[in-house]
Amino acid sequence: MKSYLTMLLVLSSFLIHAQSASRTIFTFNTSMGLNSSEKDQLESTYFTMHDDNYHCFEVVSSQEKNAYPYQKQLALAKQRTLAMQNYYQQELGMNTDQVFIKYGGEHPTLWLHKPDAKLTVTGEVQLDDQNKQCFSYASIRNLSITTDHGNRLYFPKMAFETMDGKAVTANDISICLWEFADKKSLIFSNLTTSASGKMLETGGSFYLEASWDGKPLKLRKGVYYTIELPTAAAHPDMFTYYGYEKDGLINWAVDKQEPVIVNGLAPEPQTEEVIELEGEAVVWDAPFAYNEDGFELESEEPFYSLTAGKLGWINCDRFYDVPDKSTLALKVDTKEPVIVRLVFRDIESVMECYSDSNHKNKYVAENIPTGEKVLVLAYSVQDDQAVLGYKEVTIGENSLEQIELAAMTKSRFESAVRELLY
């Protein structure tokens, strides 16, 4: 009874949608089969359909109806609908819910159903050991770090403990970091600047880890370190964001308790903390901003100063929200999966595009600021080989853009990205 009711619901839904379905007459030489132009036309028909819609192909023209007896018309219709169904299923990977032959009426017809698309993020974040920077930390001293890109980090003494909460007093603690100071480094690591799909503008991102004797460490409760990031901008609405892995990407979450200070120092601590070390009480003040001697730092260049109470993924960000937004669809000339990113020319932001479950070659970005100039990058890297396609677009000018890929070595891919992201 249950299966019978389900069939009735499916049939009822089909009949309702069929009444409003788009229709075309599609004919071809059955002895020759589908040529490339005809295949492109079939793909385009499905590609341009809206989600949750039907399309009907009638496969016998009015001229053929006048010229041929009914039995030949019927044979043509069967051959054509079967060939078209095979193309959609075998070459485009569609299932029987998406393409099917309907018998009845004057001739068999081919039907397409485009379900609601499922959007899936592309590209998993990668940390390359070649870009790792490591520093030695003695727990009884404050530590000042200057990174390869000129960012500064300050750790107070006695900052770390084991994962089970035991204080560590070693002189050879290792602090390692990866920094993402520009859009090139974001692309090479597949990192993006978004918080649950909302666009962020970044002042710089990091991944930090600490270890001693090969074992991971964490910050002690209540301990904060400071990061200073030189900047040409001075946005007052920056905050500390922490990153969490979701679907292979890093999703950023704001900490409203940790605003970023522009061109200044983090506040002085209000209290002191007492900790136990091997039976002795050690009092320390954990300053937020200092050099190795504990003195406050001053700088003439503009910089963001943020405090963080966690290791892992750290970002200096702000929401970039505008009222006028657009959706951009991209058609890439491959059925193989690729990573697609939007690199903003005038904003420090890189946004992800999502693969469309209805198409192996369609990618979508939603809620993108209209009028912004972006470089679209579509790429894939496997061992020493890569493919890359790119296009300069203005958001809102076209709802669909075509991207063509070129094969190259991994080395050439990296050089090309550096040239494009000047």
Give the number of domains in the chain.
Answer: 3
Beta carbons of 78 and 86 less than 8 angstroms apart: no
pLDDT band of residue 19 (cuts 50, 70, 90) is low
Same domain? For 415 and 327 the reply is yes
Per-residue pLDDT at 24: 95
Same domain, 161 and 278: yes
Residue 211 pairs in a beta bridge with 174, 216
pLDDT at residue 283 is higher than 60? no
**What pLDDT shows up at residue 301?**
73
Residue 341 three-state SS: strand
Shared domain check, 201 and 142: yes
Q: Which of 272, 296, 319 is the last residue of a domain?
A: 319
Whether 123 maps to a domain, the answer reads: no
Domain membership of residue 121 (yes or no) is: no
Query: Cα separation of 417 and 422, whole Å?
Result: 9
Q: Does position 272 have pLDDT exceeding 80, yes or no?
A: no
pLDDT (mean) for 41-49: 93
Residue 256's pLDDT is 86
Residues of the domain holding 52: 2-116
Residue 31: the pLDDT is 87
Residue 147 lies in a domain: yes
Listing DSSP states for 126-185 in one string gives ---GGG-EEEEE-TTS-EEEE-TTS-EEEE-TT-EEETTS-B---S-EEEEEEEE-SHHH
Together in a domain, 221 and 262: yes
pLDDT of 16 over the 80 cut: no
Share of the chain above pLDDT 90, in %: 76
Q: 405 and 314, same structural domain?
A: no
Identify the residue with better confidence: 175 or 295.
175
Across residues 389-399, what is the average pLDDT?
Answer: 97
Does 327 lie in the same domain as 312?
no
Could you report how far apart the first and last alpha carbons of the chain are, in Å?
Answer: 65
Mean of pLDDT over the chain: 87
**Tens digits of per-residue pLDDT, 323-342?**
999 999 999 999 899 999 99
Final residue of a domain: which of 67, 82, 116? 116
Mean pLDDT along residues 174-182 = 97
Distance CA(57)–CA(59), nearest Å, equals 6
Nearby residues of 200 by Cβ (< 8 Å), 6 or more positions away: 193, 194, 241, 252, 315, 317, 318, 319, 320, 349
Does a structural domain hold residue 375? Answer: yes
Q: Is the pLDDT of residue 269 over 80?
A: no
Length of the chain: 422
Last-in-domain residue among 89, 116, 143: 116
Domain identity same for 354 and 305: no
Quote the pLDDT of residue 281: 28
Whether residue 327 is found in the same domain as residue 315: no
Q: Whole-prediction pTM value?
A: 0.81
pLDDT band at residue 51 using 50, 70 and 90 as cut-offs: very high
The pLDDT-based confidence of 44 (bands split at 50, 70, 90) is very high
Q: Are residues 385 and 284 in the same domain?
A: no
Query: What tokens does 98 get?
Result: 């998406």
Q: Strands of 173-332 (E only): list them.
A: 173-180, 194-195, 198-212, 215-219, 225-230, 239-246, 249-259, 261-262, 273-277, 280-284, 303-308, 312-319, 325-332
Q: Which two tokens stand for residue 209?
A: 């880890």
Q: What is the pLDDT of residue 18?
A: 63
- Residue 342 sits in the same domain as residue 253: no
**Same domain, yes or no, for 283 and 343?**
no
What is the average pLDDT across 355-372? Answer: 95
Using DSSP, how many helices (H) and how many strands (E) does the chain show?
6, 30
Distance CA(223)–CA(155), nearest Å, equals 9
- Region 223-246: mean pLDDT is 91
For the record, the structure tokens of 312 come out as: 């892992």
Return the closest-CA partner of residue 353 out of 344, 362, 345, 400.
362
The Cα–Cα gap between 191 and 185 comes to: 8
pLDDT tens digits, one per residue of 120-172:
988 889 999 999 999 999 999 999 999 999 999 999 999 999 999 999 999 99
Digit-coded pLDDT (tens) for 192-218: 999 988 999 999 999 999 999 999 999
Asked whether the predicted pLDDT for residue 374 surpasses 80, the reply is: yes
**Whole-Å CA distances, 268 to 256, 286, 290, 294, 296:** 18, 9, 10, 12, 10
- Same-domain pairing of 341 and 313: no
Contact 239, 318 (CB under 8 A): yes
For residue 124, is it within any domain?
A: no
For residues 240 and 185, give the distance between their C-alpha atoms in angstroms, rounded to a whole number. 20
Residue 122 lies in a domain: no
> CB neighbours (10 Å) of residue 414?
17
Task: Tell me the CATH number at 334.
Answer: 2.60.40
Would you state the pLDDT for residue 2? Answer: 52
Which residue, 177, 208, 178, 172, is CA-closest to 190? 178
* pLDDT (0 to 100) of residue 248: 81
Answer yes or no: is 282 within a domain: yes
Asked if residue 203 is part of any domain, the answer here is yes
Q: In 267-342, which residue ranges form alpha helices assigned H by DSSP?
A: none
Which CATH number do you get for residue 219?
A: 2.60.220
